C-alpha cells in the first residue's frame, strides 16, 4: 500500500508538472499565435510597401528614360546650334573681309585715278625731255663708240706687245735651256773622265801597295839574316823606315781616294738633280706657254668680236637715228653691255700680264738657281782636281 501510495504521489507530482508544462505551452502557443498574427500583419504591410516601392521604381525608370531622351535631343539641338553659330561667325568674318577689301579697292581706284592723272602729266613732261635728250644721247653714244674703237685699238697694240714679249722670253728661255743642257753634257763627260781617272789611280795604288808589301817582306827577311852592327843593316833599317813611310802615304792616299769618290758621287747627284729640275722647268714652261697662247688667242678673238659689235652698233645708230625711242634705248643697252665686256677683257688682259710677269720672275729665279748650282759644281770639281794633283 505504501508503495502504491508512493507511486500515486509520484504520479500526481508528475501530473502536476505536466499540467504546469501544458499551461505554459498553452500560454506560449497563445503568444506565438499573437506573434504570428502580428507578423502576418507586418508582412502584409511590407508587401503593400513593396508594391508601392516597385510602382515608384517603375515610374522613376520611366522618368529616367524620358530624361535621357530629352538630354540627347537637347545635345543634338546644342550641336546644331553651335554649328550654326560657327557658320554665322564665318559668314560675318567673310562679310567684314569683303567690306575691308571693297574699301581698299575703292581707295586703290581713287589712288590709281590720281596716279593716272599724274602719270599723264609726267608722260607729257617725259616726252618733252626725251625729245630734248635724244639728240644729246646720240652725240654721247657716238663719242663713246669712238672711244671704244680707240680702246680696242690700244688693247690690240698692248696684246701684240705682250705676244712679242712672250715670244722673246720663250726664245731666251729656249736658248738658256740649250746652253744649260750643253753644260750638263760637258759636266757629265768631265764626271765620267774623273771616274776613269779614279779607277786608274785605284789600280795604281793597289799595285804600289802590293809592291810595298813585297818589299817589306823582303826587308824583314833580310833583317833577320843580317847582324845588327853591320852598315848594310843600318841601310836596311832606313829602307824599312822609308817603306813604312810609303805605306802610311799609301793609306793616306787611299783615304783621299775614298773622299774623292764620295765628292764625285755627290757632284753626280747634284748634276742629276739639276737635270731633273731643268726638265721639270722646261715642261712647266711649255705648259704655261701653251696656256698663255690659248688665253691670248681667246682675248684677241673677243676683242675682234667686240670691235665688230661696236661697228655694227655704230651702223645701227646711223641707220636708226630717225626711229622711235625704244630702238635708241635698246641700242644704248647693247652699247652698255659692250662697254662692260670691254672692261672685262681689260681686266683679263691685266691679269694675264701679271701672271706673265710672275712667270718671268720665276724663270729668272730658277735660272739664277741653276747658275749658282753650276758655279758651285764647277768650283767643287776644280778643287777636287787640284786635290788629286
Condensed to tens digits (0 to 9), the pLDDT of residues 287-321 reads 766 776 777 677 667 667 766 666 666 666 566 55
Question: To 5 degrees, how large is the angle CA 129–CA 135–CA 137?
Answer: 85
**Is the pLDDT assigned to residue 61 strictly greater than 70?**
yes
**Is the pLDDT assigned to residue 14 strictly greater than 70?**
yes
**Is the pLDDT assigned to residue 161 strictly greater than 70?**
yes
Per the rule left: phi > 0, alpha: psi between -120 and 50, beta: everything else, 309 is: alpha
pLDDT of residue 266: 67
**Is the pLDDT assigned to residue 275 strictly greater than 70?**
no
Question: To 5 degrees, how large is the angle CA 261–CA 263–CA 269?
Answer: 105
Mean pLDDT for the chain overall? 73
**Is the pLDDT assigned to residue 240 strictly greater than 70?**
no
Mean pLDDT for the stretch of residues 49-70: 90
**Is the pLDDT assigned to residue 7 strictly greater than 70?**
yes
pLDDT of residue 21: 86
Q: At 21, which helix (H) or strand (E)?
A: helix 2-225
pLDDT of residue 324: 46
Tell which residue, 152, 317, 211, 188, has the closest CA to residue 264.
Answer: 188
Q: What is the pLDDT of residues 42-59, one digit of tens each?
A: 898 889 988 998 898 899
Contact 296, 162 (CB under 8 A): yes
Domain boundaries, the chain: 83-137, 148-388
**Is the pLDDT assigned to residue 66 strictly greater than 80?**
yes
**Is the pLDDT assigned to residue 106 strictly greater than 80?**
yes
C-alpha cell at 275: 737635270
192 band by pLDDT with thresholds 50, 70 and 90: confident
Tell which residue, 144, 163, 97, has the closest CA to residue 297.
Answer: 163
Instruction: Name the fold adopted by 148-388.
Output: Substrate Binding Domain Of Dnak; Chain:A; Domain 2 (1.20.1270)
Mean pLDDT for the stretch of residues 71-98: 89
- Distance from C-alpha of 357 to C-alpha of 336, rounded to nearest angstrom: 32
Contact 313, 145 (CB under 8 A): yes
Question: To 5 degrees, how large is the angle CA 343–CA 344–CA 349?
Answer: 95
Contact 153, 329 (CB under 8 A): no
What's the residue count for the chain?
A: 389
The angle that helices 231-319 and 325-388 make with each other, rounded to 10 degrees, is 170
**Is the pLDDT assigned to residue 97 strictly greater than 70?**
yes
- Distance from C-alpha of 16 to C-alpha of 235, rounded to nearest angstrom: 191
Question: To 5 degrees, how large is the angle CA 252–CA 193–CA 254?
Answer: 10
- Distance from C-alpha of 341 to C-alpha of 349, rounded to nearest angstrom: 12
**Is the pLDDT assigned to residue 123 strictly greater than 70?**
yes
Residues 6+ apart with CB under 8 A from 184: 271, 274, 275, 278
**Is the pLDDT assigned to residue 33 strictly greater than 80?**
yes
Contact 300, 279 (CB under 8 A): no
- Distance from C-alpha of 240 to C-alpha of 181, rounded to nearest angstrom: 54
C-alpha cell at 184: 750638263
pLDDT of residue 339: 65
pLDDT of residue 290: 72
Q: Which of 145-154, 311-320, 375-384 has the highest mean pLDDT?
A: 145-154
Residue with cell 726664245: 171
- Distance from C-alpha of 376 to C-alpha of 312, rounded to nearest angstrom: 63
pTM, full prediction: 0.32
Amino acid at each position: 500500500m505504501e508503495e502504491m501510495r508512493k507511486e500515486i504521489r509520484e504520479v500526481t507530482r508528475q501530473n502536476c508538472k505536466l499540467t504546469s508544462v501544458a499551461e505554459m505551452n498553452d500560454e506560449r502557443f497563445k503568444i506565438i499565435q499573437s506573434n504570428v498574427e502580428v507578423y502576418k500583419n507586418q508582412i502584409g504591410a511590407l508587401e503593400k510597401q513593396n508594391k508601392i516601392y516597385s510602382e515608384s521604381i517603375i515610374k522613376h525608370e520611366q522618368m529616367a528614360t524620358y530624361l535621357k531622351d530629352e538630354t540627347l535631343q537637347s545635345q543634338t539641338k546644342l550641336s546644331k546650334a553651335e554649328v550654326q553659330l560657327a557658320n554665322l561667325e564665318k559668314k560675318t568674318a567673310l562679310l567684314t573681309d569683303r567690306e575691308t577689301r571693297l574699301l581698299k579697292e575703292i581707295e586703290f581706284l581713287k589712288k590709281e585715278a590720281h596716279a593716272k592723272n599724274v602719270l599723264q602729266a609726267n608722260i607729257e613732261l617725259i616726252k618733252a625731255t626725251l625729245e630734248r635728250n635724244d639728240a644729246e644721247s646720240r652725240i654721247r653714244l657716238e663719242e663713246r663708240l669712238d672711244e671704244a674703237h680707240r680702246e680696242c685699238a690700244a688693247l690690240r697694240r698692248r696684246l701684240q706687245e705682250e705676244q712679242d714679249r712672250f715670244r722673246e722670253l720663250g726664245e731666251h728661255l729656249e736658248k738658256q735651256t740649250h746652253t744649260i743642257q750643253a753644260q750638263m753634257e760637258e759636266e757629265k763627260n768631265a764626271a765620267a773622265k774623273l771616274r776613269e781617272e779614279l779607277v786608274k789611280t785605284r789600280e795604281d795604288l793597289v799595285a804600289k801597295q802590293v809592291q810595298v808589301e813585297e818589299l817589306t817582306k823582303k826587308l824583314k827577311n833580310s833583317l833577320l839574316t843580317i847582324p845588327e852592327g853591320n852598315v848594310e843593316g843600318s841601310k836596311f833599317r832606313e829602307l824599312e823606315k822609308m817603306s813604312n813611310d810609303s805605306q802610311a802615304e799609301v793609306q793616306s792616299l787611299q783615304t783621299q781616294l775614298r773622299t774623292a769618290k764620295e765628292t764625285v758621287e755627290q757632284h753626280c747627284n747634284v748634276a742629276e738633280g739639276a737635270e731633273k729640275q731643268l726638265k721639270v722647268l722646261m715642261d712647266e714652261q711649255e705648259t704655261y706657254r701653251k696656256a698663255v697662247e690659248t688665253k691670248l688667242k681667246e682675248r684677241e678673238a673677243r676683242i675682234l668680236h667686240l670691235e665688230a659689235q661696236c661697228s655694227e652698233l655704230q651702223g645701227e645708230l646711223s641707220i636708226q637715228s630717225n626711229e622711235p625711242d625704244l630702238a635708241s634705248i635698246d641700242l644704248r643697252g647693247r652699247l652698255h653691255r659692250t662697254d662692260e665686256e670691254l672692261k672685262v677683257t681689260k681686266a683679263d688682259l691685266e691679269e694675264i700680264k701679271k701672271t706673265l710677269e710672275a712667270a718671268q720672275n720665276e724663270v729668272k729665279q730658277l735660272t739664277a738657281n741653276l747658275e749658282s748650282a753650276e758655279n758651285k759644281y764647277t768650283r767643287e770639281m776644280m778643287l777636287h782636281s787640284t786635290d788629286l794633283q
